[in-house]
């Protein structure tokens, strides 16, 4: 099969790396890709939002399967356009991608199908939103309903902060159109984790759990980022909790989506809060997490292409996946200044040395090649992954690999995996 992956991050590097290992894959393209992806796929200079160009490329090159990485083209309807040309595509169509594209739509489904989540209300009128905030307790959570590149959530500690947040979202257009409608919800406490399933419209095949590290600096300090590191699986998601997630969250949302006339196909990423053994849903994403995907791909022992094909063809019930009985970690190296402003174009040396360390693999998030050298080309730049038999072995391997890398403009968190270590020491 000739396969096209859409996207240019670490997630897409991990997907390409795994797809390229499949005996089913005859030719692999990535649009637009990055310098790491170029080692396993042919990069094509088309951006993920350039829907028509992507469709034309897939048609002209007789692509057998398109795999869409990021949410924006999914919400824009890339899958619908490709399918209308008869091109098989992994990912939800536009109607199903609303699950991530509109938090108001998502929360209403939770209510309708009785899926455990934080209590909420949604508003398009500022004064009504303010009155609601005044009637609730703080902290309180404000969410821009639309896509806001992971930045549309404000956790307000006081009523004044909440009203200011609402003003920024609803009157001052801080998140543009995405903030015109706001979901206001109860603040949940507990431990956060993610859970991933493949869905073919009716059957859900569980993958693994993971835990992300969202803030920029050690000790969960600093501004929120796209994710500075992750590991999989997450020990908090025990087998018993996994069963609850499948029966009280995943099954009802899949049945609900089908019932609403927008059956879900693709990867479903549940963001969860776990307290006293009970999972509640914070959100669904309609894509793999980045950097969580990098850890999942390191642990998958089966042919990814077979699983993606079965998802598209509606026969996931025939697939059984094998996983390495190990832990995988990813530590992100980002450009100094990220998630604020940062510069690009600085040289990164010694990546080969990093990959000599047992169990490691470096995925590129934002790199390009400058003649023969890799240079930085984004906020998150590299994801250093390692597998191992426990968290300490994984951490030792990935941090040793980081020490081998020579990139003066980068920074990383030194505490990825702290929660597992702390919980063990309790
Ligand atoms: P979301 O994009 O909805 O996942 O929100 C981003 C982050 O905000 C989550 O990963 C949580 O850390 C936090 N968050 C979102 N909703 C809540 C909530 N209801 N209670 C506590 N924290 C939340
Ligand atoms: N790492 C979190 C996300 O991909 O949304």
- Which ligand number lies closest to the CA of residue 211? 2
Report whether 397 contacts 368 (CB < 8 A).
Answer: no
Angle between helices 159-166 and 126-135 (to 10 degrees): 160
**Considering the domain 191-318, what is its CATH architecture?**
2-Layer Sandwich (3.30)
Which residue intervals of the chain bear CATH 3.30.1490.20?
119-186
φ, ψ dihedrals at 133, nearest 5°: -55, -40
Which residue intervals of the chain bear CATH 3.40.50.20?
2-91
Which residues are 193's β-sheet partners? 272
- Which ligand number lies closest to the CA of residue 70? 2
φ, ψ dihedrals at 214, nearest 5°: -80, -30
Q: Is any ligand 2 atom within 6 A of the Cβ of residue 409?
A: no
φ, ψ dihedrals at 293, nearest 5°: -55, -35
Q: Quick one: which of 286, 378, 279, 392 has its CA closest to 329? A: 392
pLDDT for the residue numbered 426? 65
Residue among 105, 117, 142, 155 to mutate when testing ligand 1 (max atoms within 8 A of CB): 155
Q: What is the pLDDT along the chain (426 residues), one digit of tens a residue?
A: 999 999 999 999 999 999 999 999 999 999 999 999 999 999 999 999 999 999 999 999 999 999 999 999 999 999 999 999 999 999 999 999 999 999 999 999 999 999 999 999 999 989 999 999 999 999 999 998 888 887 788 999 999 999 999 999 999 888 888 888 888 999 999 999 999 999 999 999 999 999 999 999 999 999 989 999 999 999 999 999 999 999 999 999 999 999 999 999 999 999 999 999 999 999 999 999 999 999 999 999 999 999 999 999 999 999 999 999 999 999 999 999 999 999 999 999 999 999 999 999 999 999 999 989 999 999 999 999 999 999 999 999 999 999 999 999 999 999 999 999 888 776
Q: Tell me if residue 26 falls in helix, strand or coil.
A: coil
pLDDT for the residue numbered 217? 98
CATH of 119-186, one of 3.40.30.10, 3.40.50.1370, 3.30.1490.20, 3.40.980.10: 3.30.1490.20
CATH T-level fold of 2-91: Rossmann fold (3.40.50)
Dist. CA 327 → ligand 2 center (Å): 19
Which tokens go with 97?
């991608």
Cβ neighbours of residue 240 under 8 Å, at least 6 residues apart? 277
E strand residue ranges, 240-399: 265-275, 278-285, 327-335, 347-348, 360-364, 367-370, 373-376, 380-388
Dist. CA 189 → ligand 1 center (Å): 10
Instruction: Output the CA–CA distances (angstroms, integers) from residue 305 to 279, 367, 372, in the order listed.
Output: 31, 26, 31
| Interior/surface letters 146-178, b for 16+ CB within 10 angstroms, e for the rest | bbbeebbbbebeeeebbbebbebbbeeebbeeb
Q: What is the dihedral of CA 250, 256, 260, 263, to 10 degrees?
A: 40
CATH T-level fold of 327-425: 3.90.600
φ, ψ dihedrals at 410, nearest 5°: -105, 160
Q: Is any ligand 2 atom within 6 A of the Cβ of residue 290?
A: yes
- Which ligand number lies closest to the CA of residue 136? 1
Q: Quick one: which of 424, 381, 388, 423 has its CA closest to 9? A: 381
Dist. CA 285 → ligand 2 center (Å): 8
> Atom 2 (ligand 2): residue with closest C-alpha?
289
For the whole model, what pTM was predicted? 0.96
Residue among 74, 100, 226 to mutate when testing ligand 2 (max atoms within 8 A of CB): 226
Which residue intervals of the chain bear CATH 3.30.470.20?
191-318
Dist. CA 282 → ligand 1 center (Å): 6
Measured CA to CA, the distance from residue 88 to residue 67 in angstroms comes to 9
Which tokens go with 181?
């409608």
Residues with CB under 6 A from ligand 1: 118, 141, 143, 153, 155, 185-188, 192, 271, 282-283
Q: What angle do CA 254, 97, 270 make, to 5 degrees?
A: 55
The DSSP bridge pattern shows strands 2-7 and 367-370 to be: unpaired
Which residue intervals of the chain bear CATH 3.90.600.10?
327-425
Angle between helices 103-112 and 251-259 (to 10 degrees): 100
């Amino acid at each position: 099969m000739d396969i096209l992956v859409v996207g240019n991050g670490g997630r897409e590097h991990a997907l390409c790396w795994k797809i390229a290992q499949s005996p089913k894959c005859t030719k692999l393209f990535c649009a637009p890709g990055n310098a790491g992806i170029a080692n396993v796929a042919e990069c094509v200079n088309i951006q993920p939002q350039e829907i028509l160009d992507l469709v034309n490329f897939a048609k002209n090159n007789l692509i057998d399967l398109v795999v869409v990485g990021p949410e924006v083209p999914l919400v824009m309807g890339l899958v619908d356009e490709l399918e209308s040309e008869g091109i098989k595509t992994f990912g939800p169509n536009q109607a199903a991608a609303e699950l991530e594209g509109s938090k108001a739509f998502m929360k209403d489904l939770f209510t309708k199908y009785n899926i455990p989540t934080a209590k909420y209300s949604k508003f398009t009128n500022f004064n009504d939103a303010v009155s609601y905030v005044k009637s609730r307790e703080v902290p309180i959570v404000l969410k821009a309903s639309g896509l806001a590149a992971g930045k549309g959530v404000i956790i307000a500690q006081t009523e004044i902060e909440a009203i200011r947040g609402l003003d920024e979202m609803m009157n001052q257009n801080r998140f543009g159109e995405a903030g015109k409608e706001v979901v206001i919800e109860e603040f949940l406490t507990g431990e956060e984790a993610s859970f991933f399933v493949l869905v073919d419209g009716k059957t859900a095949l569980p993958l693994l759990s993971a835990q992300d590290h969202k803030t920029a600096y050690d000790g969960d300090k600093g501004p929120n980022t796209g994710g500075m590191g992750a590991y999989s699986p997450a020990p908090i998601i025990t087998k018993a909790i996994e069963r609850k997630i499948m029966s009280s969250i995943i099954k009802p949302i899949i049945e609900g989506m089908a019932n609403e006339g927008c059956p879900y196909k693709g990867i479903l990423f549940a963001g969860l809060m776990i307290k006293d053994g009970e999972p509640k849903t914070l959100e669904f994403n309609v894509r793999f997490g980045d950097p969580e995907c990098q850890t999942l791909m390191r642990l998958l022992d089966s042919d990814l292409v077979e699983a993606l094909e079965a998802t598209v063809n509606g026969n996931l019930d025939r697939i059984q996946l094998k996983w390495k009985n190990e832990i995988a970690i990813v530590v992100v190296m980002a450009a100094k200044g990220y998630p604020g402003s940062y510069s690009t174009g600085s040289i990164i040396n010694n990546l080969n040395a990093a990959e000599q360390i047992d169990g490691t693999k470096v995925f590129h998030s934002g790199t390009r090649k400058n003649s023969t050298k890799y240079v930085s080309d984004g906020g998150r730049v590299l994801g250093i992954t390692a597998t191992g038999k426990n968290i300490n072995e994984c951490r030792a391997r990935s941090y040793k690999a980081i020490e081998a890398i020579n990139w003066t403009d980068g920074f990383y968190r030194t505490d990825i995996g702290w929660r597992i270590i702390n919980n063990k020491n309790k």
